[in-house]
Amino acid sequence: MTEPEVIKLPAMPNFRLEGRRALISGSSRGIGRASAAALADAGAHVTMLARNKDELDAVAAAIGPNAHAAALDVTDMEQVGAFFEGQKAFDILVNCAGTNRPKPMLDVTLDDYDAVIGLNVKSSYFLTQAAARGMVGAGIKGSLIHIGSQMGHVGAANRSLYCASKWALEGMSKALAVELAGMGIRSNIIAPTFIETPLTKPFFEDPEFKAEVLRKIKLGRIGQVEDVLGALIYLASDASSLVTGTSMLVDGGWTAE
């Protein structure tokens, strides 16, 4: 009589983040705030960056002992450099800081360009560089997560600057994935559709704009910050240990056609 086959089941994915340090920019509001809360809930110790100290302190207090507030303007390279001096390396970086100035391309000013590209691209690049240097120096197999947009995959009227910035993030992340893979550092994008945040909420006061957005989101609703958090925890954790250089669309089907 033959012995029954011993069936070896696979190890289940681990989404927990105990013992890890996460850095989140733009974390006093919107997706950044939600990201800090989610990572802390998963066990990480989160350091939250934003300019408004009072808002940041209030969010950190609401999250609890796993959250630390650090008031910082990520567009100021001297402040960024000073923050990382003597700083213990992080395991996770989430680039959430961003802005938008929607207007016709023919009306875009140099100030508009500097504001959008400066925050969405330049600040993300150099914050990532500083975090990656720390990871490499400490031998950390870290996760770099950039909050992009569906607008990094398509075009839209009145959003030439925003699209330019989010397409740039896509290219940056892919290049970093290639360059840093040998050091065990992963780089990925989360690309949401319109998420209701303090930044986007005023746009939805225009009924025609809201109707057009809902027409394109095939699941028929505006996104909420909670919709992004599953992808965030996945990319931050060991569950995604073979995932790098990709863009996770959380767009309700916008880019499906």
**Residues assigned a catalytic role:** 162, 166
CA neighbor of 214 nearest in space, from 227, 225, 203: 203
Looking at residue 33, its amino acid is R
Token representation of residue 98: 């961003």
Helix axes 160-180, 124-138, angle to 10 degrees: 10
Q: SS in 3 state form for the chain?
A: CCCCCCCCCCCCCCCCCCCCEEEECCCCCHHHHHHHHHHHHCCCEEEEEECCHHHHHHHHHHHCCCEEEEECCCCCHHHHHHHHCCCCCCCEEEECCCCCCCCCHHHCCHHHHHHHHHHHHHHHHHHHHHHHHHHHHHCCCCEEEEECCHHHCCCCCCCHHHHHHHHHHHHHHHHHHHHHHHHCCEEEEEEECCECCCCCHHHHHCHHHHHHHHHHCCCCCCECCHHHHHHHHHHHCHHHCCCCCCEEEECCCHHHC
Contact between 36 and 69 (Cβ < 8 Å)? no
Q: Give the C-alpha separation, 137 to 140, whole Å.
A: 8
